[in-house]
Amino acid sequence: MPELNLVLLGPPGSGKGTQGERLQEDLRLPYYATGDILRAAVREETELGRTAKEYMDRGDLVPDDVIVGVIAERIDTTEAADGFILDGFPRTLPQAEALAARLEELGRALTAVLLIDASDDEVVRRLGGRRTCEENGHVFHVEFNPPEKEGVCDIDGSPLVVRDDDEPDVIRHRLDQYHEKTEPLVDFYDHQSLLRRIDGTAAPDDVGIEVERTLATLRLEGDEAI
């Protein structure tokens, strides 16, 4: 397969970041998670961060015109020449259309969209116990994926914190936003035969195995198409 251009789609807390970290290591492709990019911009108090913060704190999506440029510039880089993994983008139909148009300009296309799905109740349970590494966004869960030492990231030793948008009322609002604005992308990509469904309710390792199987099938399909 010449290049692997992947999108991770799914509700908040379905495990996109957890699987994205594993995929990044396995595939050695650049991983662009818009939530992480925006949180870094907030920490660094850049113009992007100042714009995004009020939307993120409320659990609203940041405006399309703000986020589209952030991704458009990243996929047109040397490091993304062999492919990329997008997590959290696109999240609206206009974002999906802008991504398709940009890829077409570059003579490229998406390989697949992996939908990692979980119910609203599961999402609330997961995000309530999530702990996130302050420095690099590594993700843990107090029950399902606890760090070796409480409150400390296993990977880089940074403090683990509760994200501002993981408060119960904000989680509910993020879910509403997902159902209203992002879920239409499931049909959008299904109609283009790009969608691959992954059951996100299994244990993280089992979800990872299903993702690997899906990628192996994609490679086979890619080889057969050549």
Q: Which of 106, 109, 203, 216 contacts ligand AP5 by CB under 6 A?
A: 203
Instruction: Decide: is 115 part of the binding site for ligand AP5 (CB under 6 A).
Output: no
Binding map of ligand AP5 across residues 206-225, x = CB under 6 A, - = no contact: -x------------------
Instruction: Answer yes or no: are the C-beta atoms of 171 and 87 closer than 8 Å.
Output: no
What is the arrangement of strands in the sheet containing 130-133, beginning at the earlier edge strand? Answer: 139-141, 130-133, 160-161
Cβ closest to ligand AP5, residue 144 vs residue 222 = 144
Dump the DSSP string for 10-41: -STTSSHHHHHHHHHHHHT--EEEHHHHHHHH
Beta-bridge mates of residue 83: 4
Residues of this chain, 132-171, that bind ligand AP5 according to CB under 6 A: 139-141, 144-145, 165
Please indicate whether residue 130 is annotated as part of the active site: yes
From the candidates 39, 91, 131, 196, which is the catalytic residue?
A: 91
CA atoms of 11 and 183, how far apart (whole Å): 8
CA atoms of 45 and 201, how far apart (whole Å): 36
Please indicate whether residue 163 is annotated as part of the active site: yes
The set of catalytic residues is 16, 91, 130, 163, 174
* Interface with ligand AP5 (CB under 6 A): 10, 12-18, 34-35, 38, 55-56, 59-62, 67, 88-89, 91, 95, 126-127, 130, 139-141, 144-145, 165, 174, 200, 202-204, 207
